[in-house]
Structure 1
Amino acid sequence: MHLRNILPPNIYDVIDRAGISTERQIILLSIWDIKKYTNLNLDDILLLKNIVTENVCPTITTGKEELKKFNCNKAGVLTGCTGIDNLLAGGFRRGTLTEVFGESASGKTQLGLQLTLNNWAKGCVYICTEDLFPTKRFEEMKISLPQFDPRIDYGKNIFVEHITEAIDLLSCLRVRLPKLLEHHKLALIVIDSIAAPFRCESNNYVKRAEDLREVAILLTSMAQKFDLAILCINQVTASFEDSNSVLPALGLAWSNMVTTRLMLKKTLNVLDGKSLANISNQQIADHHKTYIRELHVMFAPHLSNMMAQFIVTACGIQDIPK
């Protein structure tokens, strides 16, 4: 940009004769310095500064606005539960890091399994850090797929890894997982759970924070480079401020790296007899009571703080029957 193209000719001629030839000089020089060099009046100097600053000032956008635009036209990774997919504005967002936390039996692993099974054809990675991969439960849910075909191997595009130590998780994320993603087009990575490898007797919290930060950076980089949705299931810890509430584990070192945070709750509300009549005995399976679960949006740049309800049956996560 040349000053001649943006300034009134009479002002440009004056500053040019005074040796003021760059936007930087006009911005940094005080009003009184410009007056001394050019003898322009105050109104002309203010006009000069305003024109230059408006033309050289970069467009200001916030991180939240950029995240809203990021992948806004790409389809999310769906769970198959209409209520949850609607809550998440089309499923789990690609290119970002999503955390789901909740107490025991709230349905965290069920959600991870359902998300994996619903996207088996697109390819998924399921990293287990607490227990072995729940193969039996996976097979139960597989049979209940809307278009289940016994001739199809639903596990052929699902890659399972068992990890118990933080150093092994980092090794997987640094080396093995990127190599896998270079050769296979995948849609989803699930880590169940992110907290387990970092539970240890060591009091080196600085090292743990550094490792957590690296884990989050590696996951986010892969999500953006390979257009993935990443779900990290997290455990909970008691809140010192409120004995009746819980907080996600791993503290601020992890929380500050998460894009979307969701909370799962198992309520005390049970489906009534009329609603249960719409679910077969096979679906209810071993559940003597079918509790209603809730998925709450705690924070997300593209979502409102709302909630969706669902139930867990032998078929997996389902919308509440009407």
Structure 2
Amino acid sequence: MAKEKKIDDELDSELENKKLTIEDLPGVGEATAEKLRENGYDDIMAIAVASPKDLADISGIAEGAAVKIINAARKYADVGNFETGEEILKRRKEVRKLSTGAQGLDNLIGGGLETQSITEFFGEFGSGKTQIMLQLAVNATMPEEQGGLNSDVLIIDTENTFRPERVIQMAKAKNLDPDETLKRIHVARAYNAHHQILLAEKASDIAKEFPIKLLIVDSLTSHFRSEYVGRGSLAERQQLLNKHMHDLLKFGTIFNAVIAVTNQVSANPAVFFGDPMTPIGGNIVGHTATFRLYLRKAKAGKRIARLIDSPYLPEGEAVITLTEDGIIDGT
């Protein structure tokens, strides 16, 4: 007991100095650390928010040993414990906001897109989802005092919709250097659902080289929808989609980044009155996304954005206009 207490005291001392690497965690030897790093678990926070089963499968250790490693990491990262509301409020002050470029839309979602959260935009083809994503990418490179995050951007493009020419138009409208803006936007084309999941897992590697504060997935569900067809494959699709969503949320938490995703819709034939359109992904996407906005077309290039889900904001609508210069308030 005395020996264990001494080890704990030594660990606490190191924790206070915040110099621990994953090798310093109890039970993590050189071989285990190598396996963890190969699979993206290369810092304390990544291990602290991992599941014991995933860690055990990746490293080849027993699940009980994985639990001990995770608990030690959580002790260092100060996660997984009960906190007072006051402490959470203090931590919430670390959350930053990214402007959409339209004041009405910003007001609707509490001042802009939040870091450490997933914001989902869903709607029919042509409702402006990709245009908003491109605008967010440009805005994120701007200084914080102008509504940006002064950061680089990651885009996982699943439908080949990224157009640098459009980014140049939007950057010029914001008086930004188009070449510098393009250099700060890192795009990866996802060719199938598994490739999309892999890109999200590898996003942390890029975030260690560049100051990434915005991760975009456009679109979240297109590959899952086309590759997993029919009720027989529904359970597998939802399981993969659930993992993907939690990988994205974990990235946002670890790097204090905004996660913005687009989603497709389908018509529900059971709806006889009102809008029959429902987002793809069901409850898996609905429960994991922090903010959900429904985009629909209006006249003269206008789009109506309706906030349908938020942890603390009321439902409401904002009108935006898609222009050559980008997203502006609707009039």
TM score, norm. by length of structure 1: 0.68
| Contact 2:119–2:290 (CA under 8 A) maintained in structure 1 | yes
Q: Which amino acid aligns with 2:296?
A: K
1:184 maps to 2:210? yes
Q: Distance in 2 between matches of 1:212 and 1:126?
A: 18
Q: Aligned residue for 1:106?
A: 127
Q: Which amino acid aligns with 1:81?
A: A
Residues 149, 159 of structure 1: CA spacing in aligned structure 2 closer, same or farther, 3 A cutoff? Answer: closer
Residues 188, 301 of structure 1: CA spacing in aligned structure 2 closer, same or farther, 3 A cutoff? Answer: same
| Contact 1:68–1:301 (CA under 8 A) maintained in structure 2 | no
Alignment of 1:1-322 (within 5 A): 71-72=92-93, 74-120=95-141, 121-145=150-174, 147-149=175-177, 153-174=180-201, 176-198=202-224, 199-200=226-227, 202=229, 203-243=232-272, 244-267=275-298, 269=299, 290-321=300-331
What is the CA distance between 1:201 and its match in structure 2? 5.1
What is the CA distance between 1:254 and its match in structure 2? 2.2
| Contact 1:126–1:158 (CA under 8 A) maintained in structure 2 | yes
| Contact 2:306–2:315 (CA under 8 A) maintained in structure 1 | yes
Q: Which amino acid aligns with 2:119?
A: T
Q: Distance in 1 between matches of 2:82 and 2:154?
A: 39
Q: Distance in 1 between matches of 2:200 and 2:176?
A: 33
What is the CA distance between 1:310 and its match in structure 2? 1.2
Q: Which amino acid aligns with 2:213?
A: A
Q: For each residue in 1:157-200, what CA deviation from the matched residue of structure 2 results, as whole angstroms up to 9, or x when unmatched?
A: 111010021110111122x2111112222110110000112022
Q: Which amino acid aligns with 2:163?
A: P
Q: Distance in 1 between matches of 2:93 and 2:119?
A: 16
What is the CA distance between 1:72 and its match in structure 2? 4.6
Residues 165, 234 of structure 1: CA spacing in aligned structure 2 closer, same or farther, 3 A cutoff? Answer: same
Q: Aligned residue for 1:26?
A: none
Counterpart secondary structure, 1:106 = coil
Q: Name stretches of at least 5 consecutive residues in structure 2 with no aligned partner.
A: 1-80, 142-149
What is the CA distance between 1:71 and its match in structure 2? 2.4
Q: Distance in 1 between matches of 2:93 and 2:111?
A: 10
Q: Name stretches of at least 5 consecutive residues in structure 1 with no aligned partner.
A: 1-57, 270-289
Q: Give the greater-gyration-radius structure (CA).
A: 1
Runs of 4+ in 1 over 4 A off after TM superposition: 58-62, 65-70
Q: Distance in 2 between matches of 1:214 and 1:126?
A: 18
Paired residues in the alignment total: 238
